[in-house]
Amino acid sequence: MRGMGPKIPGGALILGLAGLIPFLWGVLVVQTGQFAFVADPRVAVLAYGLMIFCFMAGSLWGFAARAEWETGYFLAVAPVIFFIAFVALGMPVNFVLILGFLALLPLDWLFQKFGHTPRWWLKLRIGLTAVVVACLIAIVRT
């Protein structure tokens, strides 16, 4: 078990996995047409995705503040600013969200490299991001 890396705290893991439920629900509804309780599940999932995307970028702000890392403040808000700019230029929200979640990973890595995150942070983020991106692709491809 040595090569497994730092253990993700139970609370972080449970809440992270619970945060995937709306994404997985969206895939289920779009793929099967069942369990829809909103008019357009794609819009609901994209709205939720945007909220989570902003939350994840905001988490980096907290790490930057704790470390008093000036560059980190910019890096934490840059993904959201670029999201707004790309959508304003007419790029589809789903595509920009996929790019946004993928773009957060190198920032997570950078913050971890400089010791500004918990040691388990990237381990959790990679798995969650993989599921989120797969779900965002799945809800658009149908």
| pLDDT band with cut points at 50, 70 and 90 for residue 3 | low
CA distances from 111 to 22, 38, 69, 85, 114 (A): 27, 37, 10, 24, 5
Write a three-state SS string for 24-80: HHHHHHHHHCCCCCCCCHHHHHHHHHHHHHHHHHHHHHHHHHHHCCHHHHHHHHHHH
| pTM metric for this prediction | 0.89
Closest CA to 139 of 53, 57, 22: 22
Give me the percent of the chain exceeding a pLDDT of 90.
Answer: 83
How do residues 103-134 score in pLDDT, each as one tens digit? 999 999 999 999 999 999 999 999 999 999 99
| pLDDT band with cut points at 50, 70 and 90 for residue 36 | confident
Mean pLDDT of 130-140: 95
The contacts of residue 73 (CB under 8 Å, 6+ apart) are: 61, 64, 65
